[in-house]
């Protein structure tokens, strides 16, 4: 999985190179011409269908590009037998457009997830759902937002390192067997993009970010998130799942330097 994500990042460079030629008009709102190029870079020659059963909730205009709240959902009834196994989330005008890839399981029920992402400028959120047989489905939403990718405050490196990986988890009570239950996961992390100028060396501050979070419930995989730097500082995921019994909700996160952080939350019924 990690390998695959790495390959994706290298594709990003291709997509960005292409997108720059469209970026001349900076006064415009989100540019619909970016996506066809990006789609070809990430899903070469594959068909993709626009659908309504994948939904994106977000402000029309984001107050701060650094932490834009979005909610993704899949309406299983409306999907009419289409089962999405993987959900790719892009912000198509970001220098690194992929924000996360969600690997889904049946235990999530009607998938619903809230997170916070970064916007460099006006852009479309593009959600691409993939089924087990590789069919692709697209949902899009335009968001007006300015400036959130660069680090705005210079921080104390040892404090950042010491705080990185702290996890908070919560499950809303009361929990009932077979009923959608809301879990919240926060992890402290600066999520450095690797694109921020290092003012001393004149190079770039190296990327430093959470790259994966594995959620397991009662010993069974619940959801895996390949996290990208388009996910906002201190990554946040709030999602629903359907517990079959009481059990432990376990989260295991890794960063791009190979460190692992984990926490468990005991769900009582």
Cβ-proximal residues to 63 (8 Å cutoff; 6+ apart), any chain: none
For residues 91 and 119, the answer to whether their CB atoms sit within 8 Å is yes
Residues that bind another protein (CB under 8 A): 26-27, 59, 61-64, 67, 69, 71, 114, 116, 121, 146-147, 150-154, 166, 168, 170, 172, 184, 186, 188, 196-197, 199, 232-234, 236, 238
CB of 21 or CB of 202, closer to another protein: 202
Structure tokens at 255: 């960063």
Q: Nearest distance from residue 164's CB to another protein, in Å?
A: 12
Q: Nearest distance from residue 130's CB to another protein, in Å?
A: 27
CB of 44 or CB of 199, closer to another protein: 199
Q: Nearest distance from residue 62's CB to another protein, in Å?
A: 8
Q: Nearest distance from residue 232's CB to another protein, in Å?
A: 7
How far apart CA 244 and CA 78 sit, in angstroms, is: 24
CB of 76 or CB of 184, closer to another protein: 184
Q: Nearest distance from residue 83's CB to another protein, in Å?
A: 28
How far apart CA 240 and CA 113 sit, in angstroms, is: 7
54: three-class secondary structure by DSSP = strand
Phi and psi angles of residue 2, each rounded to the nearest 5 degrees, phi first: -60, -40
How far apart CA 195 and CA 114 sit, in angstroms, is: 26
For residues 102 and 221, the answer to whether their CB atoms sit within 8 Å is no
For the chain, where are the E strands, in sequence order?
Answer: 49-50, 54-57, 68-74, 84-91, 98-104, 112-117, 123-131, 136-143, 167-171, 181-187, 210-217, 220-227, 236-241, 247-255, 260-267
Phi and psi angles of residue 112, each rounded to the nearest 5 degrees, phi first: -145, 125
For residues 90 and 118, the answer to whether their CB atoms sit within 8 Å is no
Q: Nearest distance from residue 252's CB to another protein, in Å?
A: 20
Q: Nearest distance from residue 240's CB to another protein, in Å?
A: 13
């Amino acid at each position: 999985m990690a390998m695959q994500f790495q390959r994706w990042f290298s594709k990003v460079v291709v997509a960005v190179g292409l997108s720059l030629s469209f970026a001349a008009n900076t006064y415009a709102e989100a540019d619909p011409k970016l996506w066809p190029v990006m789609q070809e870079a990430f899903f070469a020659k594959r068909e993709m269908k626009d659908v309504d059963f994948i939904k994106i909730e977000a402000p029309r205009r984001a107050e701060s590009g650094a932490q834009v709240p979005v909610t993704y959902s899949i309406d299983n009834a409306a999907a009419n037998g289409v089962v999405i196994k993987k959900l790719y989330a892009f912000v198509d005008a970001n220098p690194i457009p992929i924000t996360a890839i969600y690997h889904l399981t049946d235990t999530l029920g009607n998938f619903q997830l809230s997170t916070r992402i970064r916007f460099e400028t006006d852009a479309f959120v593009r959600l691409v759902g993939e089924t087990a047989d590789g069919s692709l489905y697209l949902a899009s939403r335009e968001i007006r937002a300015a400036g959130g990718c660069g680090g705005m405050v210079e921080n104390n490196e040892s404090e950042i390192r010491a705080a990185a990986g702290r996890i908070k988890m919560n499950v809303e009570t009361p929990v009932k067997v077979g009923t959608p239950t809301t879990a919240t996961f926060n992890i402290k992390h600066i999520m450095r993009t690797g694109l921020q100028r290092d003012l001393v060396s004149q190079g770039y501050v190296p990327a430093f970010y959470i790259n994966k979070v594995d959620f397991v419930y009662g010993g069974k995989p619940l959801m895996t998130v390949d996290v990208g730097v388009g996910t906002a500082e201190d990554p946040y995921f709030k999602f629903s799942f359907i517990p079959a019994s009481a059990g432990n909700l376990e989260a295991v996160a890794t960063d791009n330097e190979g460190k692992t952080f984990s926490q468990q939350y005991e769900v009582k019924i």
